[in-house]
Structure 1
Amino acid sequence: MADAMTLKRQAARPASRARLELLALLPAVLLMVGFFIYPLIEIVRLSFTDPVFGWGNYEWFFSRSANISVSIRTFWTAALVTVICLLVSYPYAYVMSTASPRIRLVLLVVVLTPLWTSLMVRTLAWIVLLQDTGIINDFLEIIGVGRIPLIRTDVGVVIGMTQLLVPFMVLPIYSVMVKVDPRLTTAAISLGARPSTAFWRIYVPLTKSGVFAGMLTVFVLGLGFYIIPALLGSPRNTMISALIQQQVGSMLQWGRGSAIGVILLLATLLSLMIFARFARGMRLVGLGGVR
């Protein structure tokens, strides 16, 4: 009898634990439904029903060359910023991963500092630095290059976006680099490989997962920038977020703004699928190189 009661209690424990786990997930599920899934459904609905039911909002978007140009500029800027962030962040993360604990802490604080200040404050600071009479142009004039327009240009937008997004590239790469065993490259060098060969054939393939995670994060975040292109750029540098704001905030065209949002979402998902396929192929190549 006692054995039967014991078995019954043991059988009840997994069921009770499963209920507790489901209860713990309930707040997250409610947040997802209330703040993501429902608004997404509403945006899709508005894109087809405001002002009248049909494909009119989508036909309007694709019939205007200015909308297509803004979309292409948005994806091109996000891709360019992603590449620049990678070129800056990879060596920085490498130095962080190989430095002493004290130097590593200092470098970590430096890379996180931009995230501790307001986006508006950082953007206004860049306006001061990049203007025609700013410090950067003063330095360029001193070294003989001369003053060049940096504000209200694509250059200013890219600089501002890069400075903000570098931490999102550094941290994923660094988190992978610190797990790489340095003895692997040392062993390759001791067996006759050149340091550069050991780095590119051993070390880099082992850090590709961090690179892909950082590139994915920076690219997606870069697609939604609004403040920096608006303040550092000009109407010629308009990105798709500003186009949505114009339709919804200024013209009260909720259907058109929703259609632009849906198109951006679908284009982003398509880009992510292509990127994931490319990353999977590169990972396989990298693993083959390590072997």
Structure 2
Amino acid sequence: MNAVSRRSLSSWWLRLHHGRSAKSYPPAVSLLLVSPLMALLIVGFLYPVARLVQLSFTNGGEPYARLVRSGLYVGVLTDTILISATVAILCLVLGYPVALAMARLRRPVALLVAACVFIPLWTSVLIRSYAWVVLLQRNGLVNDLLITVGLIDMPLRLLYTHGAVILAMTHVLLPFAILPIQATLRSLPADLTRAASNLGATPVRAFLLVTLPLSLPGVFAGTLLCFVLALGFYITPALVGGPNSMMMATLIGQQTLVVLDWPFAAALSTLLLTVSLVLVAVFRRALAYNKGFSSVH
């Protein structure tokens, strides 16, 4: 080995163990620190997903052919996507004003609003779903109130409908939209809005041209989080929607626990995962074109 090769090897060895500057970890230390997380990711996510996809092709792709032949499963998938998109939009519309209030109000009032957001989040999803069953059933509080005030004569069918599912899921997922938006709004300097006002912009115009565009990363994160969680929701649709409002997670649970058709359940899960990844990629690209996601060019 000549002198040039030895110097190159020595330089590579120093960079590997000492890093390029005092502010960064050496590559060897970085790999050591990341290795537990990578092992957890491989064992807890990548390997199960790979096994799931392999199981879906156990019978030579017959579960996927069954999916194509039957319009029932395509309809369930379509309903799941539409309900999830509706829930995500409602969470955004209802959550943005709350997030703005948490970021702009004075501390005592902001803490009160934050408590109203966090306390339901700390409550079990099962309890909140049962609460909606109590409210929306034929002899529930909503029907009793409508009959008492004279708006209706007979109880309405509020439970086991798409509307009940959307309402209950929006209530459960609303904090997941509020928190990312609130974190983004809190990080925005207040001087930007004041500068826009000094230049003659009205409060509405300053919000539309300054605050809203700069908060799009939080909007993207919160809306996407609600949408992905809604795609895989199981407890709330099963309790509030019943058999008339079946979603993909409920169908997968039925195929796994009742029918015991594991290959078909794996095919449904793989399809739902693929649709989720495609929609996330499309949503991310659409936001990148609007310059709301600075990491994509």
**TM-score normalized with structure 2 length:** 0.86
**Change beyond 3 A, Cα 1:68–1:175:** same
Is structure 2 residue 46 aligned with structure 1 residue 34? no
Is structure 2 residue 193 aligned with structure 1 residue 185? yes
What count of residue pairs does the alignment treat as equivalent?
A: 276
Please say which of residues 188-197 and 171-180 is displaced more in the overlay.
Answer: 188-197
Provide the C-alpha distance between the structure 2 equivalents of 1:281 and 1:145, rounded to a whole number of angstroms.
Answer: 48
What does residue 75 of structure 1 align with? Answer: 81
Is structure 2 residue 240 aligned with structure 1 residue 236? no
What does residue 283 of structure 1 align with? Answer: 291
**Change beyond 3 A, Cα 1:250–1:281:** same
What SS class does the counterpart of residue 278 from structure 2 fall into? helix
**Change beyond 3 A, Cα 1:43–1:13:** closer
State the 1:262 CA deviation: 0.8
**Cα deviations by residue, 1:20-40 (Å, 9 ceiling, x for unpaired):** 432332221221111111111
- Unpaired segments of 5 or more residues in structure 2? 1-9, 20-24
Provide the C-alpha distance between the structure 1 equivalents of 2:246 and 2:95, rounded to a whole number of angstroms.
Answer: 27
Q: Which amino acid aligns with 2:224?
A: L
Provide the C-alpha distance between the structure 2 equivalents of 1:144 and 1:181, rounded to a whole number of angstroms.
Answer: 51
The 5-angstrom pairing of residues 141-152 of structure 1 reads: 141-146=147-152, 147-152=155-160
What does residue 18 of structure 2 align with? Answer: 14
Provide the C-alpha distance between the structure 2 equivalents of 1:206 and 1:271, rounded to a whole number of angstroms.
Answer: 23
**Change beyond 3 A, Cα 1:205–1:142:** farther
Provide the C-alpha distance between the structure 1 equivalents of 2:233 and 2:222, rounded to a whole number of angstroms.
Answer: 17
What does residue 114 of structure 2 align with? Answer: 108
What does residue 124 of structure 1 align with? Answer: 130
Contact kept? 2:237, 2:247, Cα under 8 Å = yes
Q: Which amino acid aligns with 1:14?
A: H
Q: Which amino acid aligns with 2:108?
A: R
What does residue 22 of structure 2 align with? Answer: none
Q: Which amino acid aligns with 2:68?
A: F
Find the partner of 1:61 among 38, 61, 67: 67
What does residue 246 of structure 1 align with? Answer: 254
Find the partner of 1:218 among 226, 232, 237: 226
Q: Alignment RMSD, CA only?
A: 2.3
Provide the C-alpha distance between the structure 1 equivalents of 2:150 and 2:187, rounded to a whole number of angstroms.
Answer: 45
What SS class does the counterpart of residue 290 from structure 2 fall into? helix
State the 1:144 CA deviation: 4.1
Find the partner of 2:53 among 41, 44, 54: 44
What does residue 161 of structure 1 align with? Answer: 169
Contact kept? 2:216, 2:292, Cα under 8 Å = no
What does residue 89 of structure 1 align with? Answer: 95
Quick one: percent identity of the two aligned structures? Answer: 36
What does residue 197 of structure 1 align with? Answer: 205
Provide the C-alpha distance between the structure 1 equivalents of 2:174 and 2:144, rounded to a whole number of angstroms.
Answer: 25
**Change beyond 3 A, Cα 1:173–1:32:** same
Contact kept? 2:287, 2:293, Cα under 8 Å = no
What SS class does the counterpart of residue 225 from structure 1 fall into? coil
What does residue 23 of structure 1 align with? Answer: 32
Contact kept? 2:184, 2:215, Cα under 8 Å = yes
Provide the C-alpha distance between the structure 2 equivalents of 1:196 and 1:96, rounded to a whole number of angstroms.
Answer: 18
What SS class does the counterpart of residue 199 from structure 1 fall into? helix
**Cα deviations by residue, 1:159-207 (Å, 9 ceiling, x for unpaired):** 1111111111000000011122223222222322222111111111111
Provide the C-alpha distance between the structure 2 equivalents of 1:90 and 1:41, rounded to a whole number of angstroms.
Answer: 38
Provide the C-alpha distance between the structure 2 equivalents of 1:273 and 1:19, rounded to a whole number of angstroms.
Answer: 32
Provide the C-alpha distance between the structure 1 equivalents of 2:260 and 2:27, rounded to a whole number of angstroms.
Answer: 47
**TM-score normalized with structure 1 length:** 0.88
Contact kept? 2:214, 2:292, Cα under 8 Å = no
- Unpaired segments of 5 or more residues in structure 1? 1-6, 287-291
